[in-house]
Chains A and B, each alone.
Chain A
Amino acid sequence: MYNFFFYAVPEHFPFLLQGALVTVELSLISMLLGTLLGFFLAVGRLSARRTLRWPLDAFVEVVRDTPLIVQLLLIYFSLPEAGIVLSAFWAGIAGLTLNLAAYLSEVFRAAIVAVDKGQREAAISLGMSPVAVYCRVIIPQAALASLPTLGGYFIALLKDCSLVSFISVNELLRHATIVISDTFDSMDTYIMVAIIYFMMSFVSARIIRYIELWLTPSNRRATISVPLTMDKEGAR
């Protein structure tokens, strides 16, 4: 205990935090790119003709049926043989993004399909073009519906980032390995790593919850003087 608080923490915590910062960067960038790619995958798989659809379906299937770590190793070690050389960091981003996109495309697809038929019909019956129906009604509602799931995927991603230590990205877990090889103190180091992961996930979950609440339509109106109008209505 004494050793942990008065030696290990002050000595190595800052270095581990540096790694954690990279983990956060990896997560945020992959989340952003993965969400975008996943969205286009979902729309493509729903709307494209069969000939265009099957490669997309196949991609999603292959990604979902192979381990992320294998995908990362392939991207980092095998792609260079095909002439595509990525730094460890960007190979990590690429792997995490492709993986996330495949899963999210399923999430988005389900959300798009689940939008109430009446919403589509209302939009059509106002004279909207199919594109307008999609952009103005279907997509916004599907996006709102996928938000909670998206948050869950972000937390999972944050932890999946530890896998990119295998391709030598200097993120949290890899920094931990470095500390351990210096100090041979694996116990204290892994406790610190666990604490940092926990804090990152915990804080992310709070932030995500906050974003969700903020984006939920019926909460956004909160600042308007509701009681006043309610009273008026109630009075008549």
Chain B
Amino acid sequence: METVLKATNIVKYFKEPEAFQVLKHVSFEVKKGEFLSVVGKSGSGKSTLLYVLSTLDTDFTGSLEIRGEKLNGWSQNALAAFRNEHLGFVFQFHYLLPEFTALKNVMLPALKLGRYSEEEVEERAMNKLRMMDMQDFALKLSSKLSGGQQQRVAVARALINDPDIIMGDEPTGNLDKTNSQIIFDIFNRLAKENHQTIITVTHDTDFASASDRIIEMQDGQILAK
């Protein structure tokens, strides 16, 4: 299997409130179609690492390669376009646009990409919502949904452009066992059937141990397995 993501010697400091090294020479590779879980104690740098991998955080040293492209030094605009097309992201605090319906939230990244017509995008978005069992809430304002429902919509949004890599920062953090299982099954299927790569930070040990591979972080370093 080919490598879809390659991080080499990632080092990141926070300067505020005092100089503090969050990531200490982190290096690893992820293969296409792999379902990877990142675990570790709170404060070990999992979220920080994920933001670096997602190209949102560019303030680090070391090299990041996704789909064989070295992304260091890319402009913010180029990175945004890259994220739009190739990366899906589920944030720790779900973050939907509150003024828009669930459906519209899912549609927006696809409308931005412009690969499909608006009608097709809507249909695809409905399909993704159906996958998450959220079709009945499609036309509800996202601010009117519960935390768990918002998280499921956020997952649907992450899937809308059929990205190569889906990253999640505790995507099941707000969900009960059943719904966590649903998300796990979906991720697993995306990895196995579509060869999409999944990288999730999780506290859920069942979730992690059922995935293909686990990376454990401690004090900004990957623990050797």
Do A and B make up one complex?
no
- What is the interface of chain A, defined by CB distance below 8 A to chain B? none
B residues near A (Cβ < 8 Å) are none
